[in-house]
Structure 1
């Protein structure tokens, strides 16, 4: 009887140990699968043009097996974060306006792809200001806009170029710097009354979908100073990305999106659409393009 009991206990103990071993193997296999690819962190500014490409690229990378996080910060902090490795990717770097950051952190960050080009920016007025078409037309007419230009944050590199343009033409205009949202709210309040107004603008942006606007030409200063030429929007990454996530690096190196698609998505999001849903719709409609970007074709 004792022998039989001993045998039963031994069998039960063996079964229990096997069960624990099998359960442990299953858990380890799951952990291994989830840890195959690293977490990638995107820098996200408060510019409307940053959201669509970040959401789209993030969703695609998640489908490729990466974990994705977002860090919200101003442009300077995003570049600093990339330089020290806290941020891996920034989808909305404007050249040449933000060239100073690339030069400053050239040892640790690099441009790896181009989203789109021919994105223009500069001084913007509503089209009903028919006599103001070039920056030079503001000279002597600064009082039309109360000697004020609504602008984005003073720390943005584009504002340094804007200051150079104001100085170049010796305009009696002061910039009122604030967030993008506050700048647009101030400009829109004037346009609702059809008052003359001067503010900073860029494409792609939903402001051009909502209002009849024009970016003032800047012929004289552009020729002599190279200011406000059309911009190229680049994907910037920490130089360790290729080693850290080679498949992600290849995908982002082939990344591209049209300005028309960008403006449509920005307008939808500004109109209240969910950014994740807008991004997913673009993904659903561009599967062939996505495969080309993944495979490097």
Structure 2
């Protein structure tokens, strides 16, 4: 009887060890899988959709799981501060997103590294409006534009700068918020009918290759000069993902590269397919970032 009890105890011990080992393996596997999960903000701007999908492809090819959450800029900053998001790949400085930098510089990591160094922001009009070449010309032609500036996402830094511009130039205009796709549709419709329209826009953007637009002179330099595009991450991201952090800091694109990427993404039904095609054709460049 004692021998039987000893054998049973030994069997139970072996079974318990097996179960605990299996559970430990599952937990470790789960933790490892969780450690590979990334969540990035996506904003409905052409270049943002392009680069977020590009990085989704790059990182998933490296074994990460990447979710893209569509958010406007204000919510993006709040989610980075709370740690619900890992990264936002598009921060314009020194002017456009300066308000967010000032508000969140202690609770969000804004990169010193930049991935695009030749960005520009300003009010644009169709080139056929020969009589309007400066922001200072707008009040004189207020009726032509119905006193309206066609805008995009209300939380964007450029929209806040444009509100400040209206005040500083004493413009008798109202800034109408909408979304980038809606703003581009309004520009398309206006140009098709050779009608006037004024809107805040930026480069890099595919719209300048599709339409003949011109930036209005900004004598007060409210929009600033050359803008640089940075990325931002939640606190702790560099410790949790040192490899990805290094890759982001290595990331650099010029006008031709970002323009082609946007074109590829815009020309496919699914943005991810356009991004993947562009990556396949530019693997040497990608290898420089993720070396």
**TM-score in terms of structure 2 length:** 0.85
1:249 is aligned to 2:254: no
Match of 2:212 in 1: 212
Task: Report the counterpart of residue 93 of structure 1 in structure 2.
Answer: 91
Deviations 1:216-249 (A, max 9, x none): 121x211xxx533222111111121111111111
2:276 is matched with which residue?
280
Separation of aligned partners in 2, 1:93 and 1:178: 20
Tell me the number of residue pairs that the alignment of Structure 1 and Structure 2 aligns: 280
Tell me the distance in 2 between the aligned counterparts of 1:271 and 1:192: 21
Q: Report the RMSD for the aligned CA atoms in angstroms.
A: 2.9
C-alpha displacement at 1:121, in angstroms? Answer: 1.4
Find the aligned partners of 2:270 and 2:223 in 1 and give their Cα distance.
36
SS of 2:290's equivalent?
Answer: helix
Q: Is contact 1:91-1:236 (8 Å) kept?
A: yes
Match of 2:38 in 1: 40
2-structure distance, mates of 1:139, 1:32: 62
Q: What stretches of structure 1 of length at least 5 have no aligned partner?
A: 1-12
Q: Is the 8 A contact 2:117 2:229 kept in 1?
A: yes
- 1:34-183 aligned within 5 A: 35=33, 37-95=35-93, 96-112=95-111, 113-183=113-183
SS in 1 for 2:154: coil
What is the CA distance between 1:291 and its match in structure 2?
2.4
Superposed displacement of residue 273, structure 1: 4.2
Give the whole-Å Cα distance in 1 for the aligned partners of 2:55 and 2:123. Answer: 31
Indicate the residue corresponding to 1:230 in structure 2: 226
Please give the residue correspondences for 1:189-200 in structure 2 after superposition, counting only pairs within 5 Å: 189-200=189-200
Residue 251 of structure 1: how far off its partner (Å): 0.7
For the 8 Å contact 1:89–1:236, the answer to whether it is kept is yes
Pair member with larger Rg = 1
Offset at residue 28 of structure 1 (A): 5.0
- What TM-score results when the alignment is normalised by the length of structure 1? 0.83
Is contact 2:267–2:274 with CA below 8 Å preserved after alignment? no
Work out the CA distance in 2 between the residues paired with 1:268 and 1:278: 5
Worse-matched range after superposition: 179-188 or 117-126:
179-188
